[in-house]
Amino acid sequence: MRAHRYGYHRTHESCALGALIESSLTMKIDEIDAYVTVIRCQSLQQAALSLGLTQPAITRRLQNFEEALGVELLDRNTRPLKATATGRIVYEQCRVIQRELDVLREIVATDTPPVGTLRLGVAQTIADIALTDAMRGLKAAYPDLQARASTGWGSQLLQRVEQGELDAAAILLPSNKTFGETLSARSLGRIKLAVVAQKGMLRRRARTLAECQPIGWVLNPDGCGFRDGLQRTLTGLGLALKLNLETLGTELQLQLVADGNGLGLVPLPLLQASAHADALDIVSISDFKPLIDIWLVHPRVLGKLQQPVERFGAAIERQFREARAQRAA
């Protein structure tokens, strides 16, 4: 395994590091995995939990890795743990090695069904509409595969995919979103967002965001893509966000809006399915036409998990397509 195979920059430091790596063939993949996880988690304890190991086992692997390379990779005087200058270079190259190994594993993968755990991230809005059906389909198609789903904001779930904590995520992000070169992403569809108000609060005519400013908003907490989009539009118009209430959960938000606490911003499919729909008006905003895409994001190399992830994405796409068809009917 020659250093130039993994793209070292031939500075004085990296040349010396390359020579060390070429002469250190005793290192093991599990030691590389341990080192990468420690740097990512910035904690021995969290790294051990992530890998399902004890903390002493993680420590031994790190020590073995440093001994094999003959360099100190961690600054143990800092909290949280950080890599030394050389350790940072080693980390980047270890990530390259891990990706190469993923490709190798995919090449030699057989046609046997996937087993183990599939770690999925799902934006809450997507979960409300499509998660149950998607998980049921995975269980039926892959009985030996344990699918685990966690919810969160799109940006947080995307970061977890990038860090290797999730195998795939279905998230809501703008249609012009760009992704890192190590990720594969495709749009599963587009959702229209609706601005809503207490029934009869506003006359039925187009409004501007400036005209809505005195009313204020009932929104999800900071980190929500819907709120971020509204905030960017307001900032572009020279307006500040007037936040009356922030709350988690679409139904609670719609109830608060129906009670006259401000304007809401919700996906149209969830509004139409809400118990509070009859107590709300959709407000036409002339300078704000919010749309957001459903993205399926995963590492470019998934091996045997590729097929289950594609099935998961197809189930979500189908659920939203059926929801649109029901609205049209």
Put simply, whether the predicted model's pTM sits higher than 0.85 gets the answer: no
- Pick from 108-112, 163-167, 281-285: least confident: 108-112
Q: Give the CA angle between residues 60, 65, 70 to the nearest 5°.
A: 125
What stretch(es) of the chain map to CATH 1.10.10.10?
3-108
Q: What is the pLDDT of residue 77?
A: 84
Where does the pLDDT of residue 29 fall: very low under 50, low under 70, confident under 90, or very high at 90 and above?
Answer: confident
Which residues is 197 bridged to in the sheet? 281
Tokens of 58: 């993680």
Torsion over CA: 15, 19, 22, 25 (sign): negative
Q: What is the pLDDT of residue 185?
A: 94
Where does the pLDDT of residue 109 fall: very low under 50, low under 70, confident under 90, or very high at 90 and above?
Answer: low
How many C-beta atoms surround the C-beta of residue 316 within 10 A? 23
List strand residue ranges (DSSP E) for 160-279, in order: 168-173, 183-198, 217-219, 243-246, 263-267
Where does the pLDDT of residue 292 fall: very low under 50, low under 70, confident under 90, or very high at 90 and above?
Answer: confident
- Pick from 31-35, 83-87, 94-98, 230-234: least confident: 94-98
How many C-beta atoms surround the C-beta of residue 72 within 10 A? 12
Tokens of 207: 């409004």
As a whole number, mean pLDDT of residues 81-88 equals 90
Tokens of 307: 């097929």
105 pLDDT more than 90? no
Level-2 CATH architecture, domain 113-329? 3-Layer(aba) Sandwich (3.40)
Level-2 CATH architecture, domain 3-108? Orthogonal Bundle (1.10)
